[in-house]
């Protein structure tokens, strides 16, 4: 049975219960998520052929430090970087390194900052140089999946409605939805209840209530949905080596619908794609 509790009195650990945040929590999340969004905006001018993902990661760390924030991934369960950089057939959790990006690559950059105890979590896809039409189409489909999932968020609906909207659109566009990873509750904890599946039926999942905060972060493949995790314990790739893409927003459920905390201040939520 699902239980909900007031986030103001909840212990700072994942108990499986769903936290309901008040205005103080929403205010804290707006600040943390705005910082993350501004960092992702700045990366638009940095991502280019020849740039290494280690350079990108160093920027993410320094940008956070300059603004009084700590990257949540740094030393999280042994992870040693400030961001995740997932290129081409890497689905998620790619580890930044000194290999340069190449013209035609697509890269997801996932950043979470902790600011005043609040976690702002978001990711975007970035085209590197000139990309093929198939890659561009995948980015367009994936972002549309994200936004259709967000449109399903409202009090009284179930979280399955998010996944149903994403799956219906993705499969209608002859793409597939990764099942192995999901969105999650976020706020004062990096990962919290509930899990947000990106597939399923609208009648499934938990009831959404005002005050819930979670991520929606669909991973969409051009090929089949199956993935495998490499020997580093983090990097997930498509088994058929097809291209994969992901966009992510942090969302708060309101009395009338939802608030997207991680929208780009510069309207760069889809870098490199037509408006």
Annotated binding site: 93, 110, 121, 184, 191, 217, 248
What is the Cα gyration radius of the chain? 17
Q: Which residues contribute to the annotated binding site for a divalent metal cation?
A: 110, 121, 184, 217, 248
Task: Give the residue ranges of DSSP H helices in the chain.
Answer: 23-42, 53-66, 133-151, 160-172
N-term to C-term CA, the chain: 44
Biggest CA pair distance of the chain: 51
92 vs 147: CA distance, rounded Å? 19
Instruction: Name the nearest CA neighbour of 104 among 138, 128, 125.
Output: 128
195 vs 192: CA distance, rounded Å? 8
Q: Which residues contribute to the annotated binding site for substrate?
A: 93, 191
């Amino acid at each position: 049975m699902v239980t909900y509790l007031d986030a103001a009195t909840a212990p700072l650990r994942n108990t499986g219960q769903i936290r309901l945040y008040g205005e103080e929590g929403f205010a804290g999340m707006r600040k943390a998520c705005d910082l993350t969004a501004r960092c992702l905006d700045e990366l638009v001018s940095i991502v280019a052929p020849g740039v290494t993902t280690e350079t990108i990661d160093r920027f993410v760390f320094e940008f956070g430090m300059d603004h009084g924030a700590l990257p949540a991934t740094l030393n999280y369960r042994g992870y040693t970087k400030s961001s995740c950089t997932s290129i081409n057939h890497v689905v998620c959790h790619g580890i930044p390194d000194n290999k340069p990006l190449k013209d035609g690559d697509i890269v997801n950059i996932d950043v979470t900052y902790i600011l005043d105890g609040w976690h702002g979590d978001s990711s975007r896809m970035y085209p590197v140089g000139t990309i093929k039409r198939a890659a561009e189409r995948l980015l367009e489909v994936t972002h549309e999946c994200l936004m259709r999932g967000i449109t399903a968020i409202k009090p009284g609906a179930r979280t399955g409605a998010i996944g149903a909207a994403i799956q219906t659109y993705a499969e209608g566009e002859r793409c597939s939805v990764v099942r192995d990873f999901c969105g999650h509750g976020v706020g004062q904890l990096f990962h919290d209840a509930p899990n947000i599946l990106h597939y399923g039926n609208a009648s499934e999942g938990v009831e959404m209530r005002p005050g819930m905060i979670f991520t929606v972060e669909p991973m969409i493949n051009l090929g089949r949905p199956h993935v495998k995790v490499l020997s580093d314990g983090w990097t997930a790739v498509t088994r058929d080596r097809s291209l994969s893409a992901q966009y992510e927003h942090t969302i708060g459920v309101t009395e009338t619908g939802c608030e997207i905390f991680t929208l780009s201040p510069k309207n760069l939520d889809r870098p490199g794609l037509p408006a």
